[in-house]
């Protein structure tokens, strides 16, 4: 199916990470209540078993709460831009700021390993500097540690390159960026050297298969060019 934008529509993407949050909270709550009731009569006999089940119940409830805290909408796709929405903030880019979109994979030995991300390569890294919230930049520095560790283990970057760099980041126009955004930009450059992408959309922020969502993003990028010409 070919996408054709008309007027000013938005394609709204709801994250799969939010699915079953309420179910897990209810399940954990019921299991906890049942365990507490039974423990009143058999605590001395099955004390360790009851403690274990109570801990499991609390973990289930915690996972459910974390899912419920995820934003209802993870991505907005419009004729002009893509907006990534996170509980710690957001970033946005015009489609013209994006050079390439692909599922992230890496050749290891004779095999190609697929990673649970869609990578976005920017025309220039300056494009994200003014279009990401400080809180989200700070969060992504740590949230992307899995990619950093993977890169070091497979010798895509050195241990020194993997360290968080809080030095000022100098944009192409000479402007100096400081703080968490600077650290995020330094990390994005290192990840770009390792994988070829500056930004990474995690698979749990989609509502469909990673290849299908990648196809949707590419269609939106192509359709945006047509939309702006009309």
Say if 206 falls within a structural domain: yes
Say if 220 falls within a structural domain: yes
User: How many domains does the chain contain in total?
Assistant: 1
pLDDT digits (tens, 9 = 90+) for 143-199: 999 999 999 999 999 999 999 999 999 998 989 999 999 999 999 999 999 999 999
Binning the chain into helix, strand and coil, the percentages to the nearest 5 are 50, 20, 25
Say if 177 falls within a structural domain: yes
Please report the pLDDT score of residue 47 as a whole number. Answer: 73
Which of the pair, 4 or 201, is modelled with greater confidence? 201
Say if 70 falls within a structural domain: no
Please report the pLDDT score of residue 25 as a whole number. Answer: 74
Dihedral pair phi/psi, residue 110, rounded to 5°: -100, 0
Which range marks the domain in which residue 100 is found?
Answer: 87-229
Say if 72 falls within a structural domain: no
Average pLDDT score over the chain: 85
Q: Is the model's pLDDT at 7 over the cut of 50? A: no
Quickly list H helices, the chain. Answer: 21-42, 47-69, 126-129, 134-143, 145-153, 159-162, 180-195, 210-229
* Rounded percentage of the chain residues whose pLDDT exceeds 90: 49
Dihedral pair phi/psi, residue 16, rounded to 5°: -70, -20
At 38, the pLDDT band (50, 70, 90 cuts) reads: confident
At 1, the pLDDT band (50, 70, 90 cuts) reads: very low
Q: How far apart are CA 204 and CA 127, in angstroms?
A: 25
Please report the pLDDT score of residue 3 as a whole number. Answer: 44
Q: What is the rounded average pLDDT of the residues 196-223?
A: 91
Q: Is the model's pLDDT at 19 over the cut of 70? A: no
Q: Is the model's pLDDT at 202 over the cut of 50? A: yes
Q: Is the model's pLDDT at 223 over the cut of 70? A: yes
Say if 41 falls within a structural domain: no
Which of the pair, 20 or 195, is modelled with greater confidence? 195
pLDDT digits (tens, 9 = 90+) for 58-110: 887 887 777 677 777 889 999 889 999 988 999 999 999 999 999 999 877 77
Say if 33 falls within a structural domain: no
Say if 27 falls within a structural domain: no
Q: Is the model's pLDDT at 229 over the cut of 60? A: no
């Amino acid at each position: 199916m070919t996408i054709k934008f008309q007027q000013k529509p938005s394609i709204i993407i709801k994250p799969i990470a939010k699915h079953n949050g309420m179910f897990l909270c209810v399940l954990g709550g019921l299991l906890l209540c049942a365990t507490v009731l039974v423990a009143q009569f058999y605590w001395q006999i099955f004390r360790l078993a009851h403690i274990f089940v109570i801990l499991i119940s609390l973990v289930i409830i915690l996972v459910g709460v974390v899912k419920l805290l995820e934003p209802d909408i993870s991505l907005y796709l419009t004729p002009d831009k893509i907006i990534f929405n996170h509980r710690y903030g957001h970033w946005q880019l015009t489609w013209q700021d994006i050079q390439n979109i692909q599922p992230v994979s890496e050749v290891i030995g004779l095999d190609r390993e697929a990673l649970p991300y869609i990578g976005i390569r920017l025309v220039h890294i300056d494009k994200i500097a003014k279009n990401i919230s400080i809180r989200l930049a700070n969060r992504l520095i740590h949230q992307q540690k899995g990619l950093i560790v993977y890169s070091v283990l497979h010798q895509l970057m050195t241990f020194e390159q993997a360290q968080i760099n809080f030095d000022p980041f100098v944009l192409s126009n000479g402007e100096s960026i400081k703080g968490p955004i600077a650290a995020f930009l330094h990390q994005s450059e290192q990840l770009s050297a390792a994988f070829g992408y500056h930004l990474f959309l995690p698979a749990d922020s989609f509502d469909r298969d990673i290849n299908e969502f990648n196809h949707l993003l590419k269609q939106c990028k192509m359709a945006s060019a047509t939309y702006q010409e009309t």
